[in-house]
Amino acid sequence: MDAPNEARTALRQLSGPWLRRGRAAVFVALADLTLFNIYQVVNYQMFQARYQWPDFLYFYAFAKAGLAHGYRQLYDPAIQAAAVHSIFPHAPFYEVVNPPPFAWLLAPLAVLPYPAALGIWTAAMVAALALSGYLLASGRDRLLFAGLWLGFLPAYIVFVSAPLAPLVMLSLALTRKLKSDRQEIAAGLVLAIGLLKPNLVELVPFAFLAAGNLRLFVAWLSAASVLVVASVVSLGTNAADYVTASLVFTSNRYALRWSLVPIVGDGFAWLAAALLITGGTLWLAWRLRNRGPEAVLAIGVAGSLLVNHHLTPGDLNLLLVPIWLLLRIPGGLIWKTTIGSMWAGAWLALMFPITAIVVLVAIPVAALIRSLADEAAERDRTFGSNVSVEV
């Protein structure tokens, strides 16, 4: 055995016990953070629920407005506000700008009493978050992946506010599984679920296209075209109201906290940055096209969130998807520590928005560096084999 191999063997023997201790420490920390999230949920229900209103209140009012007044009036602020105040007269009003299919999806819940609808939707979103982690985990890491969402600070928002993000996360997890199973048409159709909140995953279909997944993209485009046409028909001559409502919402200063706007400014500067990120995302998806759907999907999600003009606190749960996807890639202590640092930064994003941007930039950079390192190692192995054959 040569000296380099002996050194590597000795290093593995030395690091083995420390890796086991480190893994145990991670589980203890995640358990502690899970307890903190439980405290957050209990504290909200006991002291804050009486004067704070969940996202679902506005989703429910949005769907109810469509049923009561017809979908042509769906984006009339007065009608949405009346629907909100018919449930809670003193609640502040926030306009919902999701596409019409979201109102159609919620229509069965809108005929139920609000408390029952809230309970059903909250349970469904918690289940979607849990199932996303389960589907994205590899066998022995399922417990770790569960801990990574149970202890993730923005995850408590799912329990108290019932945002839409977990459903989008589930569509991404299912897309990865179907793509891995070579069911590209089904994967594209499932990916279209993201159109319920398109700003969260707007670059993902194009990242798959750049990576050479034409059938998946065509399936997504077909589903998207049907939904767009149906939406325009349902809105009729008031289709422009959707555009107006979206522009008003994206100018909300609070929603811009987790975007590039506080860093580069709005207007042309933001547009230039978004175009640069879009180009970089598509190039990197092409560059990593042979490394499986995990890398392409992680890059697409990170790029989508970076070019996003607005995010809500519940949307921060999407940060888990690229982190989970990168964690599926086998690696040593340095790789796992890098992913762990990203998770910690994402955990802090609710309090310090800049950390979300740092994590989203780090994801494609880490994927590219890992790809280059793996390619260099493969060349070294090939060169070593050739030398052995010649000797």
Domain range list for the chain: 24-373
Question: 94 or 183, which is more confident?
Answer: 183
Question: Could you tell me if residue 9 is left (phi over 0), alpha (psi between -120 and 50 degrees) or otherwise beta?
Answer: alpha
What local confidence, expressed as pLDDT, does residue 11 receive? 46
Cα–Cα dist 339/327, whole Å:
7
Which residues, other chains included, contact 86 with Cβ-Cβ below 8 Å and sequence gap of 6+? 61
What type of residue is 165?
A
Q: Return the closest-CA partner of residue 54 out of 156, 133, 148, 128.
A: 156
Q: pTM of the entire structure?
A: 0.90
What local confidence, expressed as pLDDT, does residue 106 receive? 96
Question: 339 or 10, which is more confident?
Answer: 339
pLDDT for 297 beyond 80:
yes
pLDDT for 285 beyond 60:
yes
Most confident of 47-56, 142-151, 217-226, 286-295: 217-226
pLDDT more than 70, % of the chain: 88
Q: What's the whole-number mean pLDDT along residues 194-204?
A: 94
Q: What is the mean pLDDT of the chain?
A: 88
Cα–Cα dist 96/79, whole Å:
11
Q: Return the closest-CA partner of residue 208 out of 108, 321, 299, 120.
A: 299
Q: Are 97 and 138 in contact (CB under 8 A)?
A: no
Q: Return the closest-CA partner of residue 304 out of 291, 294, 319.
A: 319
Tell me the pLDDT band of 12, cut-offs 50, 70 and 90.
low
Encode pLDDT of 26-79 as tens digits. 889 999 999 999 999 999 888 776 767 899 999 999 999 999 998 998 988 899
What local confidence, expressed as pLDDT, does residue 283 receive? 97
How far does the chain reach from its first CA to its final CA, in angstroms? 16
